[in-house]
Amino acid sequence: MTIAIRPAAPDDAEPLARLKLSTFRQTFLEDGFAIPYPPADLAIFEAEAYSADAVRAELADGERRSWVADRDGELLGYAQVGPCKLPHVEVAPGEGELYQLYVLREAQGLRLGAGLLAAALDYLAVARPGPVWLGVWSGNDKAQAVYAARGFEKVGDYRFKVGSWYDEEYIMRRR
């Protein structure tokens, strides 16, 4: 069994869409934080964010980069970066953001998150030098601790839209 951290390719769109949906559900729904999203809002969000077409468009977007943790053709985790779009007054044009970093529950403990994060941060150091930003759910203490250990500090908050529902999020930055 070999696990490789590699750039996502156009052929990854469908399995990556399934992975994104699975990790979102594992993290935020019943088996995770159990956020009580209204079903209609959740359905809209999942269709817009995690369809194969949406992921295909992300992979084709020259401003974004994605990496996957691939175990012999099975995707176990992913990371995605791009230009910062967080609502913070200190965000400057050209600065980068870690959009997403998720690993399937059954693959946690294999250090895939660390590998994916390293790939994303290494890329941003070259492609978008300067501060790196990210948004993290306010109730996800574990993720906040991981980011803090890598030099990120909480610098603000905002509301992340899921249908008509809003999650309270923290904005973190690493200089």
Tokens 């030099």 correspond to 151
| pLDDT tens by residue, 18-32 | 999 999 999 999 889
Amino acid 37: pLDDT: 96
Average pLDDT value over all residues in the chain? 97
Report whether 69 contacts 103 (CB < 8 A).
yes
The stretches of 10-111 forming alpha helices (DSSP H) are 13-28, 39-50, 52-60
Amino acid 141: pLDDT: 97
What single-letter amino acid sits at 47?
A
| pLDDT tens by residue, 66-88 | 999 999 999 999 999 999 999 99
Tokens of 139: 């109730």
Q: Is the pLDDT of residue 163 over 90?
A: no
